[in-house]
Amino acid sequence: MKAKLRELVEAKLRVKEEPNSRGESDSSDQSDLSDQSNQSELSDQSDSSPKQSPQISPSEIRVFVDTAPVLERYWAWKAGLGWIGKSHQLIIPHAGSMFFLGEIFLPYEFDEYDEPMPSRCGNCRRCIDACPTHAITEAQGFDSVKCLSYQLIENRGSLSEEAVSAMHDTIYGCDRCQTACPWNKFATPNTTPEFQPKPELMAMTKDDWHNLTLEQYRKLFKGSAVKRVKFEGLKRNIAAANGNSDVIE
C-alpha cells in the first residue's frame, strides 16, 4: 500500500513535467512570457495569474502507512476525512472505521485545506457499552491501559484481571467497539490478496495454538503486525485464554 501511494504521487509529478500539447515545456512557455516587450503587461496580470505547482523531487516525498509515529487519526480528522468517535477511532461517513490510514508528506504548503468534520456520534453509546474492560467512558474518555487491545498486544507484563476475565478466546487485539459501531454497517470486506489470512492460519486448532513453537510463530506471522506482540506475549495470551493461571500469575 505504501509503495502504491508513492507511485501515485510520482505519476502526478511526471504529468506536471511532460511537454504541453504544442510540444513545448512549461519552462519554455515561462521564458517566452518574460520577453522585455511584455514586462509591463505581465506586471499588471501577476496578481491574477494562477500559481505554478512547485517542482519537487520524488526523494522529498515521504509515504507512511502505519510505519512511523504519525498522529494519523488527528491528521485525517484535520483533513476532513471523518471524525474521531467516542470509540476514539476515525469514522468516515458511509465507510465506517475499519480501514488503513495512509499519509503523504510533501515539502510545501497548499493554497487550500479541508475543514475538520464535527462528530456525528450523537447520543449513541454502543461502543461504550460493548467495551469489555470499560476502557471507554463518556465522562473520562479513553483509558488506554484498560483497553483489551493494549493488554493483549502492547503490555509486556502480566495481563490485568479485567483483561483475563474479558478476553474469552481472544488471543490478539480487540475490535468490539468497532463491531458495535452502527457506522460500520457501511464497511465492505476487502479483496486485496495481501490482506487475506493465510490458509495455514485459518487451519489452526486450539491444540495447535497451545503447542505453538517459536519456529511456527515466525513462519505463521512473517511480515505480519501480529509479531508486535512477540512470541512470549502471544504464548501468555494463549495460556490465559486456556485458563492456565500459573502462567498469567
Mean per-residue pLDDT, 94-113? 89
Note the pLDDT of residue 57: 78
Q: Which helix (H) or strand (E) holds 219?
A: helix 214-220
Instruction: Compute the distance between CA of residue 249 and CA of residue 233 in angstroms, rounded to an integer.
Output: 14
Of residues 89 and 27, more confidently modeled = 89
pLDDT in tens, 221-248: 998 889 999 999 999 999 999 874 444 3
104-134 residue pLDDT tens: 998 888 888 899 999 999 999 999 999 999 9
Over 60: is that where the pLDDT of 15 sits?
A: no
Task: Output the pLDDT for position 91.
Answer: 97
At 235, list the grid cell: 504464548
Which grid coordinates are listed for 25? 515545456
Q: Is 66 a catalytic residue?
A: yes
DSSP for 91-111, please give it.
Answer: EBTTTBS-S---EEE-SS--S
Q: What pLDDT, in 10s, does the model give residues 183-223? A: 999 999 889 998 889 999 999 999 999 999 999 999 999 98
Give the mean pLDDT of the chain. Answer: 82
Average pLDDT over residues 10-20: 48
Evaluate whether 31 touches 25 at the Cβ level (below 8 Å): no
pLDDT attached to residue 6: 58
Q: What is the pLDDT of residues 146-181, one digit of tens each?
A: 999 999 999 999 999 999 999 999 999 999 999 999
Q: Which pLDDT score, from 0 to 100, does residue 150 have?
A: 97
Q: How far apart are the first and last CA of the chain?
A: 40
Q: Of the listed 66, 114, 129, 208, which one is catalytic? A: 66
- With cut-offs at 50, 70 and 90, classify the pLDDT of residue 14: low
**Given this model, what pLDDT does residue 249 score?**
36
CA distance 64 to 75: 12
pLDDT at 68 > cutoff 90: no
Q: Which are the contacts of 119, defined by CB distance < 8 A and separation ≥ 6? A: 83, 84, 85
Q: How far apart are the C-alpha atoms of 231 and 215, rounded to whole Å? A: 10
Provide mean pLDDT across the span 87-114: 91
Q: How confident is the model at residue 42 (pLDDT cuts 50, 70, 90)?
A: very low
> Which of 99, 224, 237 lies closest to 155, judged by CA?
237
